């Protein structure tokens, strides 16, 4: 009976293919490591007979002798076997970098890679799977040609992504992210990396135009995992990492600091500004006294006297604090991920939960993340209707420490200050020092403050096949992210710094986005013509609201007590909101003839609420062509060598509307007051009654000038490319060249002062041009049965320049607005003086141009206009930050059960402004701070070879000015990632593992930089949170 039913099932399924001679053919499909491949597709060539392999990689299919079975699996090279007399076959698939049948998601639909006509990069997820960055985008640095990713080491810190240079001049040059079809500009930090099935990057206009608005800076498409028909898996990944701070600046210890101070004061009296009237041969900074020979011709320091206590009250012992060590620690990062997937013909499910706990290398900078995901789909009516849901929720708990302050304070805090006073209080500055906080106190006094963030990202969709090839899909997406932050500000006493304020702050905000998409697709094939049509409509509603309150006078400085209701004074509330919407219609047609000639055309019409009703809508067209030369008959002769060759060309336009929601309106706001600690009050309240206190009458403040004529910013991109494969696609690659021009750039330029506040007005105006080339190559070679080598690399060059700026905007960019304007230059160009070394002899000083503050040991600036005076008119463009090339190189070696991979990433060319140099090379620019150890080798008459300016306590020569002295090579090469894995499957063959692998991995292990860069890390010059070295031990298990 069972057999009968089975037969019946087969009959129904295989009705059109029944042949008298057909018989079951069975087999096993494994990957190149010999692991069974579940979910591989086995098809009888030329028929619709298709099955997928089960958990053990087994399949059973009805076939006739002489037919060909085609076995394929995503990411692997498909294989064909001829059905002969055998009925059992074992098939081993090889991973294939240049797999032309790989499915690529491009704009609401999927295409095969061979049919692509745009510039699309596919990220190999296997390469980045175990990188513990906590943000999949960070792992892409150097992996995608033309895409640069920059971030510092901070936990959940901002990541800047630039695709093919900088596309616009206003705030947002970030790409658009499409996560399971949901457009968002939030980036990927809230997505569990282990859930990601694939990442694709759309770089040119023909690929991106379908996303129209917001796609000008490129599109990153992320597809998360889903269950597969016939596959039941449990995946478990765990890793533990040790993180280390390896890029500290060398700062002075107490003795060195005291010596540098003495040297500076003696220099000033000896040949500096006080040479005619030596000011203070006794030299003291209030703490140190010096035993020296008082001889200005040959000053000799015999001894530095450091008192036992640095304060008059004798609470702080003179110390030798290494503030870096006090604020940082080697820390642990743990990640766990558990996922379950299941699938039947009626539907699939994928569930995952992940936990990540990053302790950070700055003490107490902990970040904890939990994500859950449920991707479900259901098939009805023989698969004609598919209903599904992709849902993810994430929760982050992040410590809120003033990280920038803590890291920079660990450089500038005086080493003589103790961390604690003798009675356990906080050490702090005393007279003669800067008013800088004890960074350890900042850590511990903020330890109780955590931000709580949650995001729900959900896409619910239904897809109905109306007619064969004609499908309608509707999707409703909800993306809500919110923060809750409650903070406690504690009173403190730390040196002469103190506060008696106990304050609670509470803030809530949410950012919501609702998206409704409706798509109609029609796929048809007749003879050698293939046509795919898409028509769609999309409505996006973004809205956010926030409120925050604070109150002082809490009875207890305890976070469990610190709620707004407990505040008794200075009770403040604030809140605001914003909303915008986009409405779009789009269509796309892909046509191919004989799989050789490919044509694609796209048109999108976007409307944005941010523009006035007259300019609300804009059209964004695109078209592309492809020619698969390798399919031509005349290429048959070379097919053994040149296995694939395609030429591509595309042109298209995309838009940008990244401006505040209400830029078209002139607005006044009732601003009662603003924080005046660091900036001027913009408030409108006044104590007109002269009472000195109480609620004040207030008015309105102009906040912006509206521009009702604002319109879309447009980026037009032309791309030509070539895809190639040699030796049966063992060597594959792609090369692209592009020109990207952005016009009508939305700008908010600085404005004439007489307009007062609210003179800021958004305008359309500037134009920008990016030109570049990109090359990627990948080579896979099996050197023996046990040894496989894969090397892939990419390199990209991009040149950026501003081609037009309205007069009103020119002065907002480096230059003087008249003889030097930024037009024709990159916006990332430095403007300033040319430092020509330092004056080393009196002759040099006397025979140089007039330069206020010049003298022995001082920086000599070039008199560029040769008028005998170094002044404001002697500035020019002194370098640019944009690198010449960015590149990445990944190598994977598989040997038996071992796999080994290492990835280098680098940047060549471009100058960075070394933001720490004012501390590492000068005592005069932050005289009350600690300094870097380079000051110890500064110029003196006895050390004539040095090019570090003589130490001085007065900055008469204005050496902090923008000059070439601060510009250093930004080139670097980093060993981003190295990983050694071992496949335990054979070792643990007793257990039923589908996959078992342990690995060790190190991130940021090696760093090569130019000698001319004197700071710690040219990747993040002057940045706060260092990029740590991360050593990881992890395991990937699949049951």
Closer CB to another protein, 501 or 642, in the complex: 501
Closer CB to another protein, 245 or 762, in the complex: 762
Least separation in angstroms between CB 674 and another protein: 7
817 touches 811 (CB < 8 A): yes
Please name every residue paired with 122 in a beta bridge, in sequence order, or none if there are none. 200
Closer CB to another protein, 722 or 953, in the complex: 953
Closer CB to another protein, 334 or 954, in the complex: 954
Please name every residue paired with 388 in a beta bridge, in sequence order, or none if there are none. 377, 461
Closer CB to another protein, 56 or 954, in the complex: 954
- Which is nearest to 965 in space by CA: 1018, 931, 915, 1019? 915
Least separation in angstroms between CB 833 and another protein: 12
- Which is nearest to 722 in space by CA: 607, 789, 626, 794? 626
1030 touches 359 (CB < 8 A): no
Closer CB to another protein, 675 or 942, in the complex: 675
Distances (CA, A) of 852 to 834, 956, 966: 15, 7, 20
Q: How many CB atoms lie within 10 A of CB 272?
A: 24
Closer CB to another protein, 32 or 541, in the complex: 541
- Which is nearest to 453 in space by CA: 413, 480, 416? 480
Least separation in angstroms between CB 852 and another protein: 5
CA dihedral 268, 270, 274, 279 (to 10 degrees): 90
Least separation in angstroms between CB 520 and another protein: 7
Least separation in angstroms between CB 291 and another protein: 18
Sign of dihedral through CA atoms 285, 286, 290, 294? positive
Closer CB to another protein, 276 or 298, in the complex: 276
Least separation in angstroms between CB 267 and another protein: 11
DSSP secondary structure, 688-744, as one string: TT--SSS---B--EEEE---TT---EEEEEEEEEEEEEETTTTEEEEEEEEEEEEEE
Closer CB to another protein, 516 or 993, in the complex: 516
Q: How far apart are CA 644 and CA 583, in angstroms?
A: 41
Residue 664 is classified by DSSP as: T
Q: Are strands 859-861 and 835-838 parallel, antiparallel or unpaired?
A: antiparallel
Closer CB to another protein, 68 or 569, in the complex: 569
Least separation in angstroms between CB 281 and another protein: 12
Closer CB to another protein, 732 or 924, in the complex: 924
In sequence order, the 6+-apart residues with CB closer than 8 A to the CB of 77 are 93, 94, 95, 96, 99, 729
Q: How far apart are CA 976 and CA 1003, in angstroms?
A: 5
In sequence order, the 6+-apart residues with CB closer than 8 A to the CB of 817 are 810, 811
Least separation in angstroms between CB 743 and another protein: 22
In sequence order, the 6+-apart residues with CB closer than 8 A to the CB of 67 are 44, 45, 46, 47, 82, 83
- HEC sequence for 44-94: ECCCCCEEECCCCCEEEEEECCCCEEEEECCCEECEEEECCCCCEEEEECE
Sign of dihedral through CA atoms 90, 96, 100, 105? positive
Least separation in angstroms between CB 645 and another protein: 41
CA 693 to chain centre: 47
Least separation in angstroms between CB 207 and another protein: 25
Closer CB to another protein, 196 or 287, in the complex: 287
Closer CB to another protein, 273 or 888, in the complex: 273
Least separation in angstroms between CB 496 and another protein: 5
DSSP secondary structure, 135-153, as one string: STTGGGTTTSTTEEEE--S
Least separation in angstroms between CB 482 and another protein: 18
Least separation in angstroms between CB 503 and another protein: 10
Closer CB to another protein, 104 or 810, in the complex: 810
Distances (CA, A) of 71 to 22, 91, 626, 732: 19, 8, 27, 22
601 touches 650 (CB < 8 A): no
831 touches 861 (CB < 8 A): no
Q: How far apart are CA 493 and CA 424, in angstroms?
A: 11
Least separation in angstroms between CB 714 and another protein: 19
Least separation in angstroms between CB 464 and another protein: 10
DSSP secondary structure, 973-1035, as one string: EEEEEEEEEEE-TTTTTTS--SEEEEEEEEEEEEEEE-TT--SS-TTSTT-SSPPPEEEEEEE
Closer CB to another protein, 478 or 893, in the complex: 478
Q: How far apart are CA 11 and CA 14, in angstroms?
A: 5
Least separation in angstroms between CB 1004 and another protein: 34
Least separation in angstroms between CB 918 and another protein: 8
Closer CB to another protein, 701 or 744, in the complex: 701
Closer CB to another protein, 468 or 756, in the complex: 756
- Which is nearest to 250 in space by CA: 57, 127, 85, 415? 415
Least separation in angstroms between CB 215 and another protein: 19
Q: How far apart are CA 874 and CA 861, in angstroms?
A: 8
Q: How far apart are CA 513 and CA 899, in angstroms?
A: 43
66 touches 74 (CB < 8 A): no
Q: How many CB atoms lie within 10 A of CB 371?
A: 22
Closer CB to another protein, 523 or 897, in the complex: 523
């Amino acid at each position: 009976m069972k057999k009968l039913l089975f037969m019946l099932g087969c009959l129904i399924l295989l009705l059109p293919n029944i042949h008298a001679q057909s018989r079951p053919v069975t087999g096993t499909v494994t990957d190149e490591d010999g692991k069974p491949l579940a979910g591989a597709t086995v098809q009888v060539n030329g028929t619709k007979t298709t099955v997928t392999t089960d958990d053990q990689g087994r399949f059973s299919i009805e076939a006739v002798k002489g037919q060909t079975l085609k076995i394929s699996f995503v990411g692997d090279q498909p294989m064909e076997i001829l059905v002969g007399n055998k009925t059992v076959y074992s098939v081993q698939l090889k991973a294939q970098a240049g797999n032309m049948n790989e499915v690529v998601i491009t704009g609401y639909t999927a295409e095969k890679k061979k049919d692509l006509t745009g510039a699309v990069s596919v990220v190999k997820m296997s390469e980045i799977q175990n990188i513990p960055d906590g943000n999949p985008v960070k792992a892409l640095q150097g992996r995608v040609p033309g895409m640069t990713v920059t971030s510092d080491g901070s936990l959940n810190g901002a990541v800047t992504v630039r695709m093919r240079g900088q596309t616009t001049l206003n705030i947002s040059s970030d790409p658009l992210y499409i996560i399971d079809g949901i457009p968002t500009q939030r980036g990927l930090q809230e997505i569990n990396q282990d859930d990601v099935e694939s990442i694709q990057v759309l770089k040119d206009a023909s690929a991106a135009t379908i996303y129209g608005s917001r796609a000008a800076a490129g599109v990153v498409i992320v597809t998360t995992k889903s269950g597969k028909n016939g596959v039941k898996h449990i995946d478990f990944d765990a890793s533990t990492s040790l993180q280390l701070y390896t890029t500290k600046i060398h700062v002075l210890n107490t003795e060195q600091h005291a010596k540098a101070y003495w040297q500076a004061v003696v220099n000033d009296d000896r040949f500096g500004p006080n040479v005619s009237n030596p000011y203070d041969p006794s030299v003291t900074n209030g703490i140190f006294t010096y035993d020296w020979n008082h001889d200005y011709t040959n000053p000799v320091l015999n001894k530095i006297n450091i008192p036992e206590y640095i304060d008059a009250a004798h609470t702080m012992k003179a110390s030798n604090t290494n503030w870096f060590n006090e604020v940082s620690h080697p820390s642990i990062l743990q990640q766990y991920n558990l996922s379950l997937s299941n699938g039947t013909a009626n539907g699939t499910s994928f569930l995952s939960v992940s936990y990540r706990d990053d302790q950070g290398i700055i003490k107490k900078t902990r970040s904890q993340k939990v994500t859950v995901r449920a991707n479900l789909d259901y098939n009805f009516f023989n698969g004609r209707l598919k209903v599904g849901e992709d849902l993810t929720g994430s929760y982050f708990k992040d410590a809120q420490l003033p990280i920038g302050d803590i890291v920079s304070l660990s450089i500038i805090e005086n080493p003589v200050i103790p961390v604690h006073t003798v009675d356990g209080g906080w050490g702090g500055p005393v007279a003669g020092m800067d008013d800088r906080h004890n960074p350890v106190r900042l850590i511990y006094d903020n330890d109780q403050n955590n931000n709580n963030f949650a995001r729900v990202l959900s896409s619910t969709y239904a897809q109905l096949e109306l007619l064969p090839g004609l499908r309608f899909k509707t999707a409703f997406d909800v993306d809500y992210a919110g923060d809750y932050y409650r903070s406690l500000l504690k009173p403190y006493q730390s040196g002469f710094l103190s506060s008696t304020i106990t304050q609670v702050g509470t803030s809530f905000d949410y950012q919501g986005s609702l998206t409704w998409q409706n798509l109609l697709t029609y796929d048809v094939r007749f003879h050698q013509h293939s046509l795919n049509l898409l028509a769609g409509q999309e409505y996006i509603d973004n809205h956010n609201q926030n409120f925050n309150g604070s109150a002082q006078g809490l009875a207890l400085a305890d976070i469990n007590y610190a709620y707004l209701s407990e505040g008794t004074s200075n009770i403040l509330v604030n809140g605001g909101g914003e909303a915008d919407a986009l409405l779009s219609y789009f269509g796309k047609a892909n046509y191919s003839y004989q799989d050789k000639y490919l044509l694609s055309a796209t048109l999108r019409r976007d409307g944005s609420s941010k523009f006035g009703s007259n300019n609300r809508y804009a059209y964004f067209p695109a078209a592309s062509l492809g020619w698969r030369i390798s399919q031509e008959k005349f290429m048959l002769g070379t097919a053994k060598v040149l296995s694939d060759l395609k030429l591509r060309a595309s042109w298209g336009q995309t838009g940008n509307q990244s401006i505040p929601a209400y830029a078209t309106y002139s607005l006044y706001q009732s601003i009662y007051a603003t924080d005046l600690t660091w900036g001027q009050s913009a408030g409108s309240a006044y104590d007109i009654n002269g009472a000195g206190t109480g609620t004040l009458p207030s008015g309105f403040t102009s906040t912006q000038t509206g521009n009702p004529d604002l319109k879309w910013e447009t980026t037009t991109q032309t791309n030509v490319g070539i895809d190639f494969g040699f030796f049966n696609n063992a060597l594959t690659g792609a090369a692209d060249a592009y020109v990207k021009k952005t016009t009508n750039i939305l700008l908010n330029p600085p404005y004439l002062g007489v307009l007062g506040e609210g003179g800021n007005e958004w305008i359309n105006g500037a134009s920008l041009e990016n030109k570049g080339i990109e090359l990627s190559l990948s080579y896979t070679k099996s050197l023996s049965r046990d040894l496989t080598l894969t090397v892939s690399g990419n390199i990209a060059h991009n040149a950026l320049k501003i081609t037009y700026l309205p007069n009103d905007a020119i002065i907002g960019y480096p230059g003087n607005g008249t003889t030097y304007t930024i037009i024709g230059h990159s916006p990332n160009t430095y403007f300033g003086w040319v430092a020509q070394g330092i004056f080393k002899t009196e002759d040099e000083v006397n025979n140089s141009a007039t330069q206020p503050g010049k003298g022995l040991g001082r920086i000599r600036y070039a008199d560029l206009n040769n008028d005998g005076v170094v002044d404001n008119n002697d500035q020019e463009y002194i370098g640019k930050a944009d690198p010449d090339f960015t590149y990445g190189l990944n190598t994977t070696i598989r040997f038996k059960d071992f796999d080994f991979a290492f990835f280098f990433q680098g940047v060549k060319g471009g100058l960075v402004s070394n933001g720490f140099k004012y501390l590492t090379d000068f005592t005069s620019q932050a005289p009350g701070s600690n300094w870097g150890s380079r000051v110890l080798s500064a110029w003196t008459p006895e050390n004539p070879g040095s090019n570090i300016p003589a130490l001085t306590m007065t900055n008469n020569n204005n050496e902090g000015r923008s000059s070439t002295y601060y510009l250093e090579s930004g080139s670097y090469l980093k060993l981003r990632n190295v990983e050694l894995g071992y496949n335990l499957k054979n070792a643990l063959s007793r257990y039923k593992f589908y996959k078992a692998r342990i690995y060790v991995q190190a991130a940021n292990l090696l760093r090569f930089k130019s000698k001319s860069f004197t700071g710690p890390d040219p990747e993040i010059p002057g940045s706060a949170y260092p990029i740590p070295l991360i050593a990881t031990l992890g395991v990937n298990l699949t049951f």
